[in-house]
Structure 1
Amino acid sequence: MNRRKMILDGLRSMRSLNIDSEAGLSFLTSQLEYLETQVYEVKREPLDYEALIPISTDAGPHVNAVTFRMREFAGRGKRHSGQGGDVPRVDVFYDEKSIPVVGSAIGYAYTFAELRTAAALNQSLDGDRQETAMKAWRSHMNQVGLYGEDELTGLFNSPHVAQASAGVNLLTATPGQALEFINEQITQLWISTKRNSVVNTIAMPGRVLGRLSSTPRSDNSDTTILEFIKRNNVSKTERNIDIEFRAAADLETAGKGKTSRMMFYEKSRENIMFHIPMPLMFHAPEQRGLEMLVNGEYRYSGVEFRYPGTALYVDDVTG
């Protein structure tokens, strides 16, 4: 149904609102439609989950679960005479997983007094409520996308991703030690995936990123540790990939035993996905007491690791 008509029909159904003027109703309808449109169209800085995880809305609002396959493969070609049936074959092994899709809600309201005043005086409605509802939804998705909830897991706490311990404190390590440690993790993931995947994203606690980006590589260098790593790593050498280094929320305590955690991974839709089958959608206005209530709903799932081997957690990076 057309959103404008939905809002107008909702207002007309509220007999207690007592707005008989079609002009007044039309003005209110235009105001509500405009404010909602602005909320969806405004350009916002991406939250961590939007920057760090590929997002899919493809499943659709009707689904109750997302089923996916984690894949591993074996086999390689070898020299063959061209005769006989001993042709080498590959095999693919699947571990099928299903994660539930759950629903949630957020809404906002205007009092009838506010609506009558706006209709009578052609006075703009306050748009903060719609914007706050949008912020509440995105904040919830950020928490789920990074750390999950209940039966859902997120980017930083998947049981399917390999975990290691750092053995170095990046807040006190020498530049040489920091360079060696980070390049070791990048190289390890590259080798463990048979050189099929390279790290393109590294998430870390804010204090670690702060030190790497502000500490010179040596006493007489004008290059920071971070700048040097960006130019000198396997991902850059092999694929000319510029690794994205980002700080992310709560990684100071995301590791085993509430230690700090870094994550090294190849971010791509082939490897990892956060499913939001139904982004926030507002319904028709309805009367609730002496207020006009606009309910919104959304549906989401957890983060799916299709190739867990393309990611690595490293804990205790700050001692």
Structure 2
Amino acid sequence: MNQLLARLTPVAGAIQAQIGDAFNMQNLVNLFKQVEFVDETDAQMAEATEYAKYIPTKPTNNVVGGGEVLKRKRGIGKGKRHAGTGTDIPLAEVEYDSVTMPVTGGTIGYQYSVFEIQTAMAANIPLDSDKAQAARLAAEKHLSDVAWEGEGTVKGFYNQVGVTVVAAQHDWATVTVEEVLEDVNVVLTPALTASKFDDSIRPDTFLLPSDQFTILAGRFVPDTAGKTFLDVIKEKNIFTASGKKLEFGSIDRINGKGLAGADRAVIYRRDPSCIQFLADEVQFLAAQPVGVDIKIPGHYKYQGVWLKRVDSMRYLDI
């Protein structure tokens, strides 16, 4: 930093006289330092797009104000033995509902001043690619919030409406592995039963909040040659016992996201027929001169998390 300042000091007066306070010498030095030594944007982008690892994602393929409507129906009712002469005949019915996912527009942009461009060109700093990358990152941060938490009436990954919520009855940090397994099976057993005649909704992923994952991975079961609680849960849960595949994972975004601040595990089928996140990439328009500034507006569309099959997901609050 000091060497760079020393190198630029002889021309500082000329540059400052030309550009004033729009882009002072310290800003130029800091930008120079970042370009030469520091690039945090790749890690930031990986964090912002983490939702795509857990939620199947596709473009909206629609216009703002439009959207998609999923209509669902299910039969309800059950026959019973008849007395022979009575009129107490049970009635079957059809239950209808629909899920609507409108397309919403999002915007982001970036700008330069003419003086900033001149100074950056003289210093050989790639402002164009850097600022465009920052704008894409800013858009992804917004989409990440929508994917995990939702926005307005649209719910996110861990707070969907209509999903069955089960409360664990034990503190996993202190109880036996059998009691932990009991909590796990309480949420898994109904999911296994519900998918008996419809395998397309059977959960295949068990996402544990990282705090609880750490507890299970750090506790060892006596007399098991070093097996952890997590090992036993994976081997002995009702899905595994029934020959069904269930992938366990961990994510810190669901720590404290359950009722009353509990950690929330998400058990779901990671399949686009059951759940999707609909969003587009940012598209930038042509540069638009405004005074001595050059503005580049961008836009993107999104719909949010579309839980097509509510019965393919369960929450376990621990």
TM-score, normalised with respect to structure 1:
0.70
1:1-319 to 2 correspondences below 5 Å: 44=46, 47-62=49-64, 64-72=66-74, 94-119=96-121, 124-125=126-127, 127-194=129-196, 196=199, 197-218=201-222, 221-238=225-242, 241-249=245-253, 251-276=254-279, 278-315=280-317, 317=318
Any idea what the Cα deviations from partners look like across 1:191-231, whole Å, max 9, x if unmatched? 13336343322223221111122222336532222233233
Aligned length: 262
Check 1:128–1:177 CA distance in 2 against 1; reply closer, same or farther (3 A cut).
farther
| Distance 1:126-1:102 versus aligned 2 partners, 3 A rule | closer
Indicate the structure (1 or 2) with the bigger Cα radius of gyration. 2
1:1-53 CA-to-partner distances (Å, cap 9, x unmatched) read xxxxxxxxxxxxxxxxxxxxxxxxxxxxxxxxxxxxxx99x994674421221
- Mark the runs of 5 or more structure 1 residues left unpaired by the alignment: 1-38, 76-90
Q: Indicate the larger mover: 136-145 or 61-70.
A: 61-70
SS at match of 1:144: helix
* CA RMSD between the two structures: 3.2
Deviations 1:209-267 (A, max 9, x none): 11122222336532222233233334445455241312141x23322233332221112
Show structure 2 runs of 5+ residues with no match: 1-40, 78-92
CA separation of 1:257/1:43 partners in 2, compared to 1, >3 Å: closer, same or farther? closer
Counterpart AA for 1:270: S
For residue 118 of structure 1, report the CA deviation from its aligned partner: 4.7
| 108 and 190 in structure 1: CA distance in 2 versus 1, 3 angstrom threshold | same
Amino acid in structure 2 at the alignment position of 1:141 = L
User: Secondary structure at the residue paired with 1:284?
Assistant: coil
* Cα distance in 1 between the residues matched to 2:255 and 2:47: 22
| Structure 1 residue ranges, 4+ long, deviating more than 6 angstroms after superposition | none
Distance verdict in 2 for CA 1:266–1:92, change over 3 Å: farther
TM-score normalised per structure 2? 0.71
Counterparts of 1:279 and 1:93, CA distance in 2:
37
Relative to structure 1, the CA distance from residue 274 to residue 71 in structure 2 (aligned partners, 3 Å threshold; closer, same or farther) is farther
